[in-house]
Amino acid sequence: MHQSMDLVVSARAAFAAASTAAELENAKARFLGKAGAVTELMKELAGLPVEQKKTRGAEINRLKQAIEAELQARRAALAEAELKAQLKAEALDVTLPGRRPAANGSLHPIGRAMERIEAIFGSMGFDVADGPEIETDWYSFTALNNPENHPARSMQDTFYVDVNDAEGRPLNLRPHTSPMQIRYAQAHARKYAGQASMPEIRVIAPGRTYRVDSDATHSPMFHQVEGLWVGENISFKDLKAVYLRFVQAFFETDDLKLRFRPSYFPFTEPSAEIDMMFGSGPLQGRWLEVSGSGQVHPQVIRNMGLDAERYIGFAFGSGIDRLAMLRYGVGDLRLFFEGDLRFLSQFR
Ligand code: PHE
């Protein structure tokens, strides 16, 4: 019995000396393992007489249980110490000031201008349409009454893609948003085909456009917004009213004038450039060109799949970058496309 007590004491000491789970398992083997001290005592039982076997056996069992209890206690203590150490290592100092997000993204000024344009025309009942930037020759030119080999095609000289369309002509990066007049009107005409009457077409189509051009006011990629209003009785005065309302809302002032200056586009007749003049502010008194426009040419109405005797309307195509430059007072168009955060963060 005495010897047994010693064994529990030395097991406790050995367990206490183990500072990791692995060390504790090693210490356990010395007492409870196959060649451990308790197992050795069990082996000695074999040689004892029956009566002694019983008492000695029970004694060894109690000893074993006592050592196991020591082991459990040490295991629990080690686990708790480990948890404490982990909590300490991962401690948060809740008294530190919070970290601000480095920078919130924001809408690009051109995107902002587009959203304004969509909202303003939306309020006047215009739908907003979106279409391909890679176009066929027919949509970019022919459908817009721009005959093959006509010099007017060079007004919108663009980039070509190394892939041909169904007519064997190279696909182009659309030089203007005008193809969307045709695409939208065709879909509209198809939708109401065979019906006695068709609701008016009233749509804008903002998006990217491409031309072989590059300087402070021209970029090879730029943005336009196309407008189209076609019905049975739509005239130039509607264009004037709609466009004036648009620029007034876009620039948030009634103190501006419009001028319609005769011009030429193959897809409108008559055609006009729209110039705008502010009555006050830094740009006061200068005519600024903001849009091409005109009454949709009857051939274009036919190419839309509509009866040119019945339907008439107007179209315009405005440079969004130009409008954004005027609204935000940006002098160089290229600033919009350089991705310089010092410039862009001013629009946050
Ligand atoms: N597509 C013409 C351009 O890019 C603008 C325009 C659109 C003119 C619609 C008239 C009507 O210059």
Q: What is the pLDDT of residue 2?
A: 56
Cα separation values, 67 from 3, 6, 26, 32, 33, Å: 13, 11, 14, 8, 12
- The CA angle 20-24-26, to the nearest 5 degrees, is 120
Ligand 1 atom 4: residue of nearest CA: 176
Beta carbon of 319 within 6 Å of any ligand 1 atom:
no
Q: Does 96 reside within a domain?
A: no
Q: What is the mean pLDDT of the chain?
A: 92
pLDDT of residue 147 exceeding 50: yes
Q: Does 102 reside within a domain?
A: no
Rounded CA separation 323/251 (Å): 9
Q: What is the pLDDT of residue 3?
A: 64
Beta carbon of 294 within 6 Å of any ligand 1 atom:
yes
Per residue in 81-101, pLDDT tens? 999 999 999 998 889 888 887
The residue-averaged pLDDT of 40-53 equals: 87
Ligand 1 atom closest to the Cα of residue 175 is: 4
The values of phi and psi at residue 163, to 5°, are -130, 135
The values of phi and psi at residue 314, to 5°, are -135, 160
Residues 294 and 335 both lie in one domain? yes
Q: What is the pTM of this model?
A: 0.72
* CB atoms closer than 10 angstroms to residue 282: 7
Q: What is the pLDDT of residue 43?
A: 87
Cα separation values, 332 from 158, 251, 280, Å: 22, 19, 22
pLDDT band at 338 (very low <50, low <70, confident <90, very high): very high
Q: What is the pLDDT of residue 71?
A: 92
Per residue in 177-186, pLDDT tens? 999 999 999 9
The residue-averaged pLDDT of 251-279 equals: 97
* CB atoms closer than 10 angstroms to residue 247: 22
Tally the C-alpha atoms within 13 A of residue 263's C-alpha that lie toward its C-beta.
Answer: 20
Place of tokens 């946050």: 348
The residue-averaged pLDDT of 103-132 equals: 95
Per residue in 174-215, pLDDT tens? 999 999 999 999 999 999 999 999 999 999 999 999 998 888
**For a pLDDT cut of 70, what percent of the chain falls above it?**
97
Rounded CA separation 240/254 (Å): 14
Ligand 1 atom closest to the Cα of residue 144 is: 1
pLDDT of residue 346 exceeding 70: yes
Q: What is the pLDDT of residue 344?
A: 92
Beta carbon of 292 within 6 Å of any ligand 1 atom:
yes
CB 173 within 8 A of CB 159: yes
Q: Does 182 reside within a domain?
A: yes
Q: 224 CA to middle of ligand 1, Å?
A: 9
Rounded CA separation 285/290 (Å): 15
Per residue in 269-300, pLDDT tens? 999 999 999 999 999 999 999 999 999 999 99
Identify which of 211, 267, 269 to mutate to test ligand 1's pocket (most ligand atoms within 8 A of the CB). 267
Cα separation values, 343 from 231, 323, 332, 347, Å: 43, 17, 11, 8
Q: What is the pLDDT of residue 154?
A: 67
Q: 319 CA to middle of ligand 1, Å?
A: 9
Q: Strand, coil or helix: what is 248?
A: helix
CA-nearest of 333, 326, 332, 242 to 284 is 326
Rounded CA separation 170/162 (Å): 6
Host domain of residue 147: 109-347
Q: What is the pLDDT of residue 172?
A: 94
Structural domain count, the chain:
2
Q: Does 84 reside within a domain?
A: yes
Last residue of a domain, one of 37, 60, 89: 89
Rounded CA separation 324/116 (Å): 10
Last residue of a domain, one of 54, 89, 124: 89
Residues 82 and 116 both lie in one domain? no
Rounded CA separation 36/197 (Å): 102
Residues 317 and 265 both lie in one domain? yes
Q: 316 CA to middle of ligand 1, Å?
A: 6
Residues 239 and 339 both lie in one domain? yes
Residues 218 and 121 both lie in one domain? yes
Residues 220 and 328 both lie in one domain? yes
Residues 117 and 42 both lie in one domain? no
Beta carbon of 227 within 6 Å of any ligand 1 atom:
no
Ligand 1 atom closest to the Cα of residue 292 is: 8
Ligand 1 atom 7: residue of nearest CA: 317
pLDDT of residue 254 exceeding 70: yes
Q: Does 94 reside within a domain?
A: no
pLDDT band at 266 (very low <50, low <70, confident <90, very high): very high
Q: What is the pLDDT of residue 136?
A: 95
Cα separation values, 60 from 68, 218, 224, 311, 332, Å: 12, 98, 95, 110, 95
Q: Which amino acid is at 297?
A: H
Rounded CA separation 123/226 (Å): 16
* DSSP state letter for 200: P
